[in-house]
Structure 1
Amino acid sequence: MSGFLSVAILLTGCSGLRKLDNPYVFSERTALYAAGSKADKSDTFAQNLCVIPEDVASQDSKVTAEAAAVFDLTKGSVIFAKNPFERMYPASITKTMTALVALKYGNLSDEITVTNAAVITEPGSSLSGIKPGDKLTLEQLLYGLMLPSGNDAGAAIAEHIAGDADAFAKMMNEEAVRVGATGTHFMNPHGLNNENHYTTAYDLYLIFNEALKYPEFRKIIGTDRYTTTYQDKDGNPVNVTWKDTNRYLTGEKKMPQGLTVLGGKTGTTQAAGSCLIMGSLDDSKNEYISVVLKASNHATLYDNMTNILNKIAE
């Protein structure tokens, strides 16, 4: 099978759209595309995407996470893939799509007043610390979303962009279809567990790959520490410093030799386990996306990620 996806996928709502028996079978995509009208065919769906061939390496005793994959963006090839189409809970990796939708439909300079919708009370929930009445820009909220993985920032962004979390989740799902992530369904902007909130390792690659097209996304995920000032409800300044949760970016975990981290997004819930999606760069400036889903804990998450990153140089 070719390393490139040479057909487009139909957009949601188009007259020729039908549900595929298996959306990742190349022949089904080809047949559906050929049968569609010109208006049904998406010009925005990139052709140079990685397709997972049947003979791709998928077994490695050192990769203990339930799903993992490495994608070579420069060559459009797949280096390793374990259970890439298995339905998984993404936890806070969800926020990659939240950021993508916000960057696509919002303005970074928008001033947002935080409401009670951003009050997240679930035990163990990761927060940026914003409170009702606080005033921040969308840009500041995106840093609060992606670095400390603020569920409260995600809720505030969702309300600003779409009016409420449900409407924003609809936008997330529409965007997922646009990029070809047909095995994905979102219920919220932050990734707190819901049985109907799921994705796959391959779909996360598609979403992350699309987000990388936005320079501001690259800037945010490549920032290990962000200090900013915003106003509280009384107009007083609030000074905060948010630290990224990606241990490769913060230097707590060493990247394999010859690779540099571009940035990424972690995610952890009891149901999802420990997860990480990440972009990296080799010495020749070739770019890669790697993803690990449902590792047993943070230590094994980074062991798994290092093991699959090492495959780039093999």
Structure 2
Amino acid sequence: MYAAGSTADKSATFAQDLCIVTEDTPGQDDKVTAEAAAVFDLTDKTVLFAKNPFERLYPASITKTMTALVALKYGNLSDEITVTKDAVITESGASLCGIKPGDKLTLEQLLYGLMLPSGNDAGAAIAVHIAGGVEPFARMMNDEALRIGATGTHFMNPHGLNNENHYTTAYDLYLIFNEAMKYPEFRKIVGTEKYSTTYHNEAGKPISVTWKDTNWYLTGERKMPEGLTALGGKTGTTQAAGSCLIMGSSDSSKREYITVVLKAPNHVGLYDNMTNILSKIVE
């Protein structure tokens, strides 16, 4: 027993609406070749499968889920943002939405550029707008992670480019994605296959773009298991992180689930792993 108001009491209250990994949580499946994977039933608050849920791994661009969460919590979608030189990303192979210093976009537009084409430049622009820079924004991300109980997580940037001190776990990503899904605008953005918009450059010239989501379940490049519908999610890929994906889905009864795969060997393997664990929902 513990006294009301004690640390244990607060922990129990905090956890009552969350899925908790227990000793009897299924975790063996030869078809799941990724380093970590998990299936969370948000209705019953149960964990249907969990492989290495607490192993610290690089999240790559799944990081942007937290970036979007912090932006939605502390910013306004209608905020007009002028892109600064801080948004210039020069790392080879980095995914970009193509914005340039001097461009003017709303926070809403930047969130689509962040989450659909996985724009690292959009992440940096959001960080500068919300916190004045990448480092103070990363501190906000870490504060938010602790607030929601993601204690195995530490962020160094808003986009997920590799850093040895930038890591999370499959379970923590569930906590982060679950919190983000409480925002209707987040659900709308991550559930969008293609987004077309117009913003203005430094000279006032209109720039029209169309950004496409990178989630193969949304684009139709992979089919969801029978009876499940993809609500949206976030991919992530770097050499160190491997291929990663977190997503929300629902069944025919509108029950919702969060599934995560970390460090799959390649894109095809990522979706093979994700389909395998999604199938555990309907098997």
Q: For 1:92-107, what aligned pairs fall within 5 Å after superposition?
A: 92-107=61-76
Q: Which has the higher contact order (CA 8 A, sep 6+)?
A: 2
Partners of 1:311 and 1:173 in 2: CA distance: 32
Using the size of structure 1 for normalisation, the TM-score is 0.87
Structure 2: which amino acid aligns with 1:273? Answer: G
Q: 8 Å contact 1:65–1:296 — kept in the other structure?
A: yes
Report runs of 4+ in structure 1 exceeding 4 Å deviation: 30-34, 41-46
* Corresponding residue for residue 191 of structure 2: 222
Partners of 2:217 and 2:8 in 1: CA distance: 46
Q: 8 Å contact 2:2–2:8 — kept in the other structure?
A: no
Structure 2: which amino acid aligns with 1:138? Answer: L
Q: 8 Å contact 1:90–1:272 — kept in the other structure?
A: yes
Structure 1 residue 313 corresponds to structure 2 residue 250? no
Q: Secondary structure at the match of 1:195?
A: coil
Q: For 1:78-117, what aligned pairs fall within 5 Å after superposition?
A: 78-117=47-86
Q: Secondary structure at the match of 2:254?
A: coil
Distance 1:32 1:127, change over 3 A: farther
Q: For 1:83-232, what aligned pairs fall within 5 Å after superposition?
A: 83-232=52-201
Partners of 2:34 and 2:3 in 1: CA distance: 33
Structure 1 residue 244 corresponds to structure 2 residue 244? no
Q: Secondary structure at the match of 2:40?
A: strand
Q: 8 Å contact 1:45–1:178 — kept in the other structure?
A: no
Partners of 1:122 and 1:257 in 2: CA distance: 40
For structure 2, the 5+ residue unaligned runs are none
Identity score, percent: 78
For structure 1, the 5+ residue unaligned runs are 1-29
Q: Return the offset for 1:55.
A: 1.1
Partners of 2:128 and 2:13 in 1: CA distance: 27
Partners of 1:32 and 1:262 in 2: CA distance: 41
Q: Return the offset for 1:313.
A: 1.3
Q: Secondary structure at the match of 2:281?
A: helix
Q: Return the offset for 1:31.
A: 7.0
Distance 1:72 1:32, change over 3 A: farther
Q: Return the offset for 1:43.
A: 11
Q: How many residues align?
A: 283
